[in-house]
Amino acid sequence: QVQLKESGPGLVKPSGTLSLTCVVSNGSITSSNWWTWVRQPPGRGLEWVGEIYHSGSTNYSPSLQSRVTISVDKSKNQFSLKMTSVTAADTAFYYCARDPRTAAVAGLSPWGPGTLVTVSS
Amino acid sequence: QSVLTQPPSVSGTPGQSVTISCSGSRSNVGSNLVYWYQQLPGTAPNLLIYRNNNRPSGVPDRFSGSKSGTSASLAISGLRSEDEADYYCATWDDSLRGHYVFGSGTKVTV
């Protein structure tokens, strides 16, 4: 079973850069999947951040695309999220997930357990 | 603000049936497949329904999805205490170069 796990600093200063990594295990990041980031402010709903294919193709949320970059490292079987100029509004649980878009069973699955990033000085 | 509108909460007693609506527009629900996710307290979301009305392996048949026009619905029959969770609809939106969107979320209380 493919498993995903997020990692990165839990605290980022305002105006700084948020950097997270999602390691994919028991599966290859070069398989036919899109790799996705979703975030959830504490006590609020889910927000799609963006996605990447192993070829490097990306799609971003229109509201975040000016600040977000998603990249893939095939040698380490992982993908990453960078978000610049963060504010308190970017405080959230950040999840990574697989999207096997063209497979028999599609949808975001599985998800990583999530990691809380707090933006505060 | 989410582009997909869900009721903030629904409730029912054990054994009852409840339905959660997801209202969108032509650029999202009206043109694309709908997915539903269940988020139990303190955990990551989990895929519940894919491509409008299909259940992944392991999801009880008490859960069913449907879509008509620009709206979708998730029905839960035979409500159980373990169904108490947040539920989100989601789909692709064809506007602005395309992006994935989630519903506002519905808290189900049993």
Q: What is the DSSP string of B19-47?
A: EEEEE--TTTTTTS-EEEEEE-TTS--EE
Mean pLDDT, residues B66-77: 98
Shortest Cα distance from B77 to chain A (angstroms)? Answer: 23
pLDDT at A108: 96
Residue A12: left if φ>0, alpha if ψ -120 to 50, beta else—which one? Answer: beta
Length of chain B in residues, anyone?
Answer: 110
CA dist B58 to A86, B46, B48, B54, B108, Å? 39, 11, 9, 12, 20
b/e map A67-96, b = 16+ CB within 10 Å: bbbbebeeeebbbbbebeebeeebbbbbbb
Mean pLDDT per 10-residue run, chain A (121 residues)? 96 98 96 96 97 95 96 97 98 97 88 98 95
Q: Residues B63-90: what's their mean pLDDT?
A: 98
| Structure tokens belonging to residue A101 | 């878009």
pLDDT value at B1 more than 80: no
pLDDT tens column, B6-60:
999 999 999 999 999 999 999 999 999 999 999 999 999 999 999 999 999 999 9
Instruction: Give φ, ψ of B12 to 5 degrees.
Output: -165, 165
Q: Do the Cβ atoms of A45 and B97 come within 8 Å?
A: no
CB A22 within 8 Å of CB A4: yes
User: What part of A 1-30 touches B (C-beta under 8 Å)?
Assistant: none
Inter-chain CB proximity A108 and B45 less than 8 Å: yes
**Residues forming beta bridges with residue B29, ordered by sequence position:** none
Q: Is the pLDDT of residue B81 over 90?
A: yes
List pLDDT tens digits, range B95-107: 888 899 999 999 9
Backbone angles phi, psi at A30, to 5 degrees: -90, 5
Measured in angstroms, the CA of A17 and the nearest CA of chain B are apart by 23
The token pair that represents A10 in the structure block? 């839990």
Burial of A102 (0-12, 13-18, 19+ CB in 10 A): exposed
Which residues are A50's β-sheet partners? A37, A60
DSSP letter at B50?
B
